[in-house]
């Protein structure tokens, strides 16, 4: 779907965009079921949807987007579905060099890599390297990601430093902890979108969404269009954010 600059400007204040958008892309399975298709078809459609949304967010001028592609809990799904998702991700990372990098997107994978196949691990390094000098939106693909694990890892690293005497336990503050998160040097999420009618965090970016505005829609992820992204951003801009103040 094409949006003229005029329409964008009418709906969204381009000067006050959320800096960092998080997306829980939910509902691929239900989308496929509704059409009598295998769940895998829903995931493929979801991957297409993702390309369009990242491109649109980049065109608008959003600086960071983090998308939940595979959680640490998703390994519990049937092997066939896990294998399909992993292949889709591999393809996505490979193609991203041609498609998303052409759009100037910086691609990063966040999450624990050691459980991923060697092939995916190598492709992540290649794609990150290939896109690292791009100047457009930074896209974090959360892959084998878990929010609790991320915070636990940070606590472990800080404990090691405290034990070695490099830091004092009393000096530990939230800024210091943020340095050990996958999103080091990135702003917190200010707008969190979840599709498919569910209203949960599901272990996604627990630290980074502390002050995020949450935006839920009944639309299933493969049906989520650039117009829906515009609506989420416009709603975000109409909310008064006080960050605990008055
Ligand atoms: C949730 O839908 C979606 C996922 C677990 C995977 C998200 C993956 C994609 C959008 C496509 C692949 C992404 C990349 C980066 C290539 P669900 O399967 O839980 O749907 P359901 O709740 O309707 O069953």
**Per-residue pLDDT tens for 108-142?**
999 999 999 999 999 999 999 999 999 999 999 99
Ligand 1, atom nearest to 30 Cα = 23
- Catalytic residue ranges: 26, 74
Contact of 131 with 103, CB cutoff 8 Å: no
Ligand 1, atom nearest to 44 Cα = 11
Ligand 1, atom nearest to 91 Cα = 16
51 Cα–ligand 1 center, Å: 14
Residue of 139, 174, 131 whose CA lies nearest to 50: 139
In whole angstroms, what is the distance from residue 226 CA to residue 167 CA? 46
Q: How confident is the model at residue 103 (pLDDT cuts 50, 70, 90)?
A: confident
Give nearest CA residue, ligand 1 atom 22. 27
85 Cα–ligand 1 center, Å: 8
Indicate the pTM of the whole model: 0.93
76 Cα–ligand 1 center, Å: 14
Q: Which residues does 44 contact at the CB level (< 8 Å), separation at least 6?
A: 88
Q: Is 46 in the pocket of ligand 1 (CB under 6 A)?
A: yes
The secondary structure of 88-152 as a DSSP string is: HHHHHHHHHTTTTGGGT-EEEEES--TTS-HHHHHHHHHHHHHHTT--S-EEEEEEEE-HHHHHH
Give nearest CA residue, ligand 1 atom 18. 29
Q: How confident is the model at residue 96 (pLDDT cuts 50, 70, 90)?
A: confident
Tens of pLDDT, residues 146-203: 999 999 999 999 999 999 999 999 999 999 999 999 999 999 999 999 999 999 999 9
The sheet with strand 106-110 has its strands ordered as 106-110, 138-145, 64-71, 20-24, 191-194, 213-216
pLDDT at 1 over 60: no
Give nearest CA residue, ligand 1 atom 12. 47
74 Cα–ligand 1 center, Å: 10
Give residue 221's pLDDT.
98
């Amino acid at each position: 779907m094409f949006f003229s600059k005029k329409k964008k400007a009418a709906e969204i204040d381009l000067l006050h965009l959320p800096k960092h958008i998080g997306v829980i892309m939910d509902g691929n399975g239900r989308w496929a079921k509704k059409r009598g298709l295998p769940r895998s078809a829903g995931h493929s459609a979801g991957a297409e949807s993702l390309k369009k949304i990242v491109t649109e967010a980049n065109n608008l001028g959003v600086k960071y987007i983090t998308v939940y592609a595979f959680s640490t809990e998703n390994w519990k799904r049937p092997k066939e579905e896990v294998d399909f998702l992993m292949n889709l991700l591999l393809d996505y990372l490979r193609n991203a060099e041609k498609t998303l990098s052409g759009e100037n997107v910086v691609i990063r994978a966040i999450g624990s890599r050691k459980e991923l196949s060697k092939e995916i691990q190598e492709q992540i390094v290649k794609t990150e390297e290939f896109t690292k000098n791009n100047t457009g939106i930074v896209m974090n693909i959360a892959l084998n990601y878990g929010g609790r694990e991320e915070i636990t890892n940070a606590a472990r690293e800080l404990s090691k430093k405290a034990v070695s005497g490099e830091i004092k336990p009393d000096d530990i503050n939230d800024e210091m902890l943020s340095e050990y998160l996958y999103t080091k040097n990135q702003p917190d999420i200010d707008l969190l979108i979840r599709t498919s009618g569910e209203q949960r965090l599901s272990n996604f970016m627990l630290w980074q969404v502390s002050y995020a505005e949450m935006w839920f829609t009944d639309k299933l992820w493969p049906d989520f269009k650039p117009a829906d992204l515009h609506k989420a951003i416009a709603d975000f801009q109409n909310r008064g954010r006080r960050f605990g103040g008055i």
